[in-house]
Structure 1
């Protein structure tokens, strides 16, 4: 008999939980969790998924693809609009774009959130 599990939450370490939650809220449209505060902020996503952001003192951002500070987490998001439009919007919101792009530009883009976590956007 296999264990049946459903992913309920993903939590990212960061220096400023409310700021990182605001970035992802604008990017995803997820609703803020009502018990968010300065040390832990959350967003309620589809199917009951919570994306959480927890304050970590002396946080060290990953430097993708360099593993001197490992990436820690890598999320991928499907986007309905053109990848160029989605990338431009995320960059306006504060995302970064590393020079190293391992995929063809039409298949996926690697960006970093404002705390340095890598994230991919892929066509929907």
Structure 2
């Protein structure tokens, strides 16, 4: 029996969809969806999986690792070199929380809208 559903997109809430899409475009090299606009932007991902960014009024960034505003989800990206990836992502506007549970294995960073994401050594 074929699967009932196929994962099509992962969408992040944010205040500025175009700006957040541009951050992830520069970080991943994924192509922008041609119908992206100020309300909803997307990147065309590998194997048909898209990353979307939707505008939410009064968006509150997660406060990881404090759970006052929970992270709700996070993305993980495989990289060849943690230090190199972290440096490049920080140049693009990523933040780095003080809490780093296993900094030798992965790095927790935050995108410009405050969403935590991880970079991990490609396995």
TM range (shorter): over 0.9
* Cα RMSD, aligned residues only: 1.3
Q: Which runs of 5+ in 2 are unaligned?
A: none
Deviation at 1:2, TM superposition (A): 8.2
Deviation at 1:106, TM superposition (A): 2.4
C-alpha separation in 1, matches of 2:46 and 2:68: 34
C-alpha separation in 2, matches of 1:89 and 1:22: 14
Deviation at 1:3, TM superposition (A): 4.2
Aligned length: 122
| Other-structure match for 2:115 | 117
SS in 2 for 1:5: coil
SS in 1 for 2:83: helix
Match runs of 1:4-23 below 5 Å: 4-23=4-23
C-alpha separation in 1, matches of 2:38 and 2:104: 38
4+ residue segments displaced more than 3 Å? 1-5
Match runs of 1:39-118 below 5 Å: 39-80=39-80, 82-103=81-102, 105-118=103-116
C-alpha separation in 2, matches of 1:116 and 1:8: 23
1:27 maps to 2:27: yes
